[in-house]
Chains A and B, each alone.
Chain A
Amino acid sequence: MERDWQFWSRRIIWLALAIATAVFLVVKIDTRMYVSKPARDIYDAIEAVPDNKIIVVTCNWEMGTRGENGPQTEALIRHCFRAGKRFAIFGWAFPPGPALGQQIAERLAPTYGRRYGRDWVNWGFNTGGSPMIRGWAKDIPGTIKQDIILHKPITSYPVMRGVKSARDVGLILDITPSDTLSTWVQFVYGFYRTPIGYACTGVMAPEAFPFYDAHQIVGVLKGLAGAAEYEQLMGYRGDALKRMPAQSSAHAVIIGLIVLGNVIYFRARRRGEAPGRRLSA
Chain B
Amino acid sequence: MSRTQAIARGLLWVAALAAVAVFGIRHHVFARDLGVWLAATCTLAIYSILYRENVVFRLFEHIFIGLAAGYSLYTVVTQVLQPKWFTPLFVEGKWYWIFASLMGTMFYSVYSKRWSWMNRLAAGVFMGLSAGLTIVGFVTGLAPQMMYSFKPLWQRTPPYLLFNSIVFFITVITVMSYFFFSFEQRHPVVKGSARLGRWLLMVAFGAIFGNTVMGRMSLLIDRLQFLLLQWLQVFGHR
Residues in A whose Cβ lies below 8 Å from that of B78: 148
- Assess the B141–A182 pair: CB atoms within 8 A: yes
- Assess the A202–B79 pair: CB atoms within 8 A: no
**Which of A68, A131, A243 is within 8 Å of B133, CB to CB?**
A131
- Give the number of residue pairs across the A-B interface with Cβ within 8 Å: 151
Query: Within B135-182, which residues are at the interface with A (CB < 8 Å)?
Result: 136-137, 139-141, 144-145, 147-148
Residues in A whose Cβ lies below 8 Å from that of B238: 28, 242
- Assess the A202–B215 pair: CB atoms within 8 A: yes
**Contacts A187-B140, A190-B140, A202-B214 given: A64-B133 contact, CB under 8 Å?**
no
Q: Is B196 an interface residue (CB 8 A)?
A: no
> How far is it, in angstroms, between the C-alpha of A25 and the C-alpha of B235 when the chains are bound?
10
Residues in B whose Cβ lies below 8 Å from that of A21: 217, 220-221, 224
Query: Within B194-226, which residues are at the interface with A (CB < 8 Å)?
Result: 204, 207-208, 211-215, 217-225
- Tell me whether chain A's interface is mostly helix, strand or loop, or mixed: helix
Residues in B whose Cβ lies below 8 Å from that of A151: 83
- Assess the B133–A134 pair: CB atoms within 8 A: yes
- Assess the A64–B219 pair: CB atoms within 8 A: yes
**Contacts A126-B79, A202-B211 given: A243-B218 contact, CB under 8 Å?**
yes
Interface size on B, residues (CB 8 A): 45
Q: How distant is B72 from chain A, measured CB to nearest CB, in Å?
A: 5
Q: Is B75 an interface residue (CB 8 A)?
A: yes
**Contacts A202-B211, A247-B217, A254-B213 given: A67-B222 contact, CB under 8 Å?**
yes
Residues in A whose Cβ lies below 8 Å from that of B94: none
Residues in B whose Cβ lies below 8 Å from that of A68: 215, 218-219
Query: Within B82-135, which residues are at the interface with A (CB < 8 Å)?
Result: 83-84, 87, 129-130, 133
Residues in B whose Cβ lies below 8 Å from that of A64: 219
- Assess the B133–A247 pair: CB atoms within 8 A: no
> How far is it, in angstroms, between the C-alpha of A96 and the C-alpha of B67 when the chains are bound?
11
Interface size on A, residues (CB 8 A): 62
- 11 A-B pairs besides A126-B80, A215-B144 with CB distance below 8 A are A21-B217, A26-B228, A67-B219, A96-B71, A125-B79, A182-B137, A185-B141, A186-B141, A215-B148, A223-B214, A223-B218
Sampled A-B contacts (24; CB under 8 Å)? A11-B51, A21-B220, A21-B224, A64-B219, A67-B218, A95-B72, A95-B75, A186-B137, A202-B212, A203-B212, A205-B211, A206-B204, A214-B145, A215-B148, A216-B145, A222-B211, A225-B214, A243-B222, A243-B225, A246-B224, A246-B225, A251-B217, A254-B213, A254-B217
A positions within 8 Å CB-CB of B: 11, 14, 17-18, 21-22, 25-26, 28, 64-68, 70, 95-96, 98, 124-127, 129-131, 134, 145-146, 148, 151, 182-183, 185-187, 189-191, 201-203, 205-207, 210-211, 213-216, 222-225, 239, 242-243, 246-247, 250-251, 254
